[in-house]
Amino acid sequence: MHGAKPKLAMYWAASCGGCEVSLANIHEAILEVDAHFDFMFCPCLLDTKRKDIEALPDGVIYLTLFNGALRTEENLEMARLLRSKSQLFVAFGSCAASGGIPALANQHGIEHVLETTYRTAPSVENPEGLIPGTAHDAQGHELELPAFLPRVLAVPQAVPVDYAMPGCPPEPGQIIAVLRHIASGAPLPAAGSLIGCSARAVCDECAREKRGQLAKALLRPHDALPEAGWCLVEQGFTCLGASTRAGCAALCPAVAMPCSGCYGPLDRDADSGAAALSAVAAAVDPGPGSGQDEAELHARLRQALSGVADPLGTFYRYTLSETVVAERPTEVEP
């Protein structure tokens, strides 16, 4: 890139802030970002105001990394604003790319979320039972909060994106590699591509040994201490590495934590939860098949799979907003 430095923006919508931390974790490489870009908008790091962005001509920001899902009207407004001001608009991180953990709220509905958050959660102390509203009068001053959208959206469900960069959060090495590529002026991938990740599975990056054994049953991480060096799925842990796109260097399995699927499915057109469930279920020993009553076999499999306490939150942890499952009616108590 030549001439004036291209403008770089980063925005934090419905997310935890880990994407900003991951950017900070590129350490001294942040100086390269400063050398190549005018890093001019990032509310948690810089004091640029929304009105400053609104005053810019459309397309003047070269690259925006938009992280977080769209939970509120303000999130949606900022996504539309930054899309209009940006030449390249990247859904940055799992929450932006596919809804992420915020989208798990879609299985319950707004009233349930507010009731749980402000009234019934064990850690809440709210004797008056107050729930925030969109407008409130405080000593003669009207305060406003943005309203919730009817459901949490991934960014591509609301505005066009040029690229999606998965990860919860994207790994620092992937971030700087992408920024270096863009800064170099090298040809960019086709519009709509995934960037900062691999086409291979997490299992391909994992150093754990596969021994060709089927697990007796599925376990939760606190149920047992994994044996070092041995595949977590074969030990019975619900590790989604076989159905998850790589790019993280298999960091979670390396420290005995099962892959939770944050880089998304290998096949972008696949139902991520169904693919993950199939991969894990195939690693569980169903017991002898011949001469076994069908009901008995089903009972055995249900017992073996009961180690998945929250199937929806396990297999759709990062992708619920964009799946067929997301359209089902609000969950009710049995």
What is the pTM (predicted TM-score) of this model? 0.90
Interatomic CA distance for residues 259 and 266, integer angstroms: 14
pLDDT at residue 291, as a whole number: 56
Task: Find out whether 226 and 237 touch, Cβ atoms under 8 Å.
Answer: yes
DSSP state of 6: P
Task: Find out whether 79 and 66 touch, Cβ atoms under 8 Å.
Answer: yes
Residue with tokens 């964009």: 322
Tokens of 102: 């915020």
Instruction: Classify 221 as helix, strand or coil.
Output: coil
Could you tell me where the DSSP H helices lie in the chain?
18-24, 30-36, 50-54, 73-85, 94-98, 110-115, 172-184, 202-205, 251-254, 272-281, 294-305, 311-315
DSSP state of 187: P
- Is it the case that residue 213 has pLDDT exceeding 80? yes
pLDDT at residue 287, as a whole number: 73
Nearest to 100 by CA among 313, 327, 328, 332: 313
Confidence grade of residue 41 (pLDDT, cut at 50, 70, 90) = very high
Phi first, then psi: give them for residue 36, nearest 5 degrees.
-100, -25
**Per-residue model confidence as pLDDT tens digits over 69-103:** 999 999 999 999 999 999 999 999 999 999 999 99
Interatomic CA distance for residues 46 and 138, integer angstroms: 29
Q: Which CATH number fits domain 7-101+150-184: 3.30.70.141, 3.40.1410.10, 3.40.50.620, 3.40.50.700?
A: 3.40.50.700
pLDDT at residue 281, as a whole number: 85
Percent of the chain with pLDDT strictly greater than 70:
95
Interatomic CA distance for residues 84 and 290, integer angstroms: 62
**Domain ranges in the chain?**
7-101+150-184, 112-149, 202-327
